Chains A and B, each alone.
Chain A
Amino acid sequence: MTALLHLLAALGRAVIAALAGIGRVTLYASDAVSHLARPPFYWREFGHALIQIGWLSLPVVGMTALFTGGALALQIYAGGARFNAETVVPSIVAIGLTRELGPVLGGLMVAARVASSIAAEIGTMKVTEQIDALTTLSTNPMKYLTLPRLLAATLAVPMLVAVGDAIGIMGGFLVGVGRLDFGAATYLKTTIDFLETWDVVSGLIKGAVFGFIVALMGCYHGMNSGRGAQGVGRATKSAVVASSVLILAANYVLTEVFFSA
């Protein structure tokens, strides 16, 4: 009986800790977003974050999409051949990339590259008292560090997803035409004929949500970093793990919502 009570108590503590964590992140996010309505807005920081998060992530997202599109074409061809349905390759590659793989893989790559870098940068600023210095210089760290990154990631990741979609479809096209003997014009026509606007738009919405998650996790864990190199390392790891898991969870929830709509 006592052992059962101990087990329940441990479970209860874990649940309370998890709920407290969710509460802290929610309060942090709402505080950050509320600064949108309260000037000043640091445009220079926003521009810098757009370049760091968007432009500089382009190579890694592009490469991921290119290879994924190529591999997807081969896999769908292999699967489709069992039902004499090889001709579905272009349309399934396009739909699979725009609705699912483009935003998810793009989001995960950005999580690995950006959440880690934001958490490490802000965590280092915290342990070297740069965050305190910002405050003493009459600059709110939430406005100066968090809000520009949150906004930049929410805008940049959908753009990355859009570019990734195009590159991924090109990857499928290159493999389809070069390896699977599709005609170039037929491949493109089938892609365009079966792809709907909503396929692309739903992926872009996912991208915006994933971008927000990545920047939020990077900033939150950086701001709450422990002391020293170990503290910053732990904050960086937590940011990447949390943003990756949240992206996959949010992807399921959004897909369910889009599926039901």
Chain B
Amino acid sequence: MIELHDVHKAFGENRVLRGVNLTIGSGTSMVIIGGSGTGKSVALKCILGLIRQDSGTITLDGRDVTTGDRDAFLARFGMLFQGGALFDSLPVWQNVAFRLLRGSLKRPRAEAREIAVEKLRRVGLKPDVADKFPAELSGGMQKRVGLARAIAAEPEIIFFDEPTTGLDPIMSGVINELIREIVVEMGATAMTITHDMTSVRAIADNVAMLHDGVIQWTGPVGDMDQSGDPYLDQFIHGRAEGPIEAVR
């Protein structure tokens, strides 16, 4: 279980997180929604320790994430980055098997490649993609490779940062389905950041809306449409009028 308690983070004068409280249960899929620049990615990076929060605590299974063995902590996570964040200098299979080629999870090279090819197959890519370089792939294929890399070491927790941004609606649907299938099949805890409402309905067990640096609303995805929360209603229906100020 991941718990954020009164997490604050500011960049200079810009107070991005102003007391975030959130609980993500083990084996559940939480989707965080909110407008651009509301701090969704910052919250996610704080959990991973890529950014240090100014105050507040973040715990994983009751243990503060800033203490203990960092490698062991990170080994429990997989992450799909918004732009894929694939390493340009490495072929696809070495990107997917990156963790299996070095560090505590190191395997023999042939075995790591075999696992990479299997993970690529799981996300719908053929084995011939394995030896290509990321720059040779389309945006959708890069997302799939990023997804394969995120699941390669069988992590307990997977983060998805804007998984469908920049993809056409059909490819978005395919990626959403893949994420849902993989999370269910692996029994992993998932946290997704998006403002694509189709993704939310396809991926989420629970939804949390981040606005003005705090969690404005949280609950099961099924309750989202009847929440009665004016902020959430405005966001999910994409209305320009409402309590959330829209810059024209």
Taking CB atoms, residues of chain A closer than 8 Å to B13 are none
Q: Tell whether A135 pairs with B104 under 8 Å between CB atoms, given A128-B83, A129-B81, A129-B85.
A: no
Rounded to whole Å, the gap between the CB of B41 and the closest CB of chain A is 10
Within 8 A of A (CB), among B75-129: 75, 77-79, 81-83, 85-88, 98-99, 102-105
B182 within 8 A of A: no
* Residue pair B81, A138 in contact (C-beta under 8 Å): no
Having A130-B85, A133-B81, A135-B50, one finds 5 other A-B pairs with CB under 8 Å, namely A125-B87, A129-B85, A130-B86, A136-B48, A136-B77
Q: Tell whether A40 pairs with B103 under 8 Å between CB atoms, given A130-B87, A135-B74, A138-B71.
A: yes
A31 within 8 A of B: no
* Residue pair A129, B48 in contact (C-beta under 8 Å): no
B5 within 8 A of A: no
B: residues with CB less than 8 A from A are 45, 48, 50, 71, 74-75, 77-79, 81-83, 85-88, 98-99, 102-105, 149
Q: How many residues of A contact B (CB 8 A)?
A: 15
* Residue pair A129, B82 in contact (C-beta under 8 Å): yes
Taking CB atoms, residues of chain B closer than 8 Å to A128 are 83, 85
Q: Which of A40, A42, A138 contacts B74 (CB 8 A)?
A: A138
A144, B48: Cα distance in complex, Å: 19
Rounded to whole Å, the gap between the CB of A68 and the closest CB of chain B is 33
A134, B101: Cα distance in complex, Å: 13
Interface string of A128-146 (1 = CB under 8 A from B): 1110111111110000000
Interface string of A33-56 (1 = CB under 8 A from B): 000000010100000000000000
Rounded to whole Å, the gap between the CB of B64 and the closest CB of chain A is 18
* Residue pair A137, B45 in contact (C-beta under 8 Å): no
A88, B75: Cα distance in complex, Å: 66
Q: Tell whether A138 pairs with B99 under 8 Å between CB atoms, given A132-B45, A132-B81, A133-B81.
A: yes
Closest 7 CB pairs of A and B: A133-B85, A129-B85, A138-B74, A136-B79, A129-B81, A138-B71, A130-B85
A42, B103: Cα distance in complex, Å: 10
Taking CB atoms, residues of chain A closer than 8 Å to B149 are 137
Which A-chain residue is minimally distant from B152 (CB atoms)?
A137
Q: Tell whether A132 pairs with B85 under 8 Å between CB atoms, given A138-B71, A138-B74, A138-B75.
A: yes
Interface string of A119-130 (1 = CB under 8 A from B): 000001100111
Taking CB atoms, residues of chain A closer than 8 Å to B45 are 132
* Residue pair A138, B50 in contact (C-beta under 8 Å): no
A124, B89: Cα distance in complex, Å: 12
Among A40, A129, A136, residue most surrounded by chain B Cβ atoms (within 10 Å):
A136
A135, B52: Cα distance in complex, Å: 14
Within 8 A of B (CB), among A201-257: none
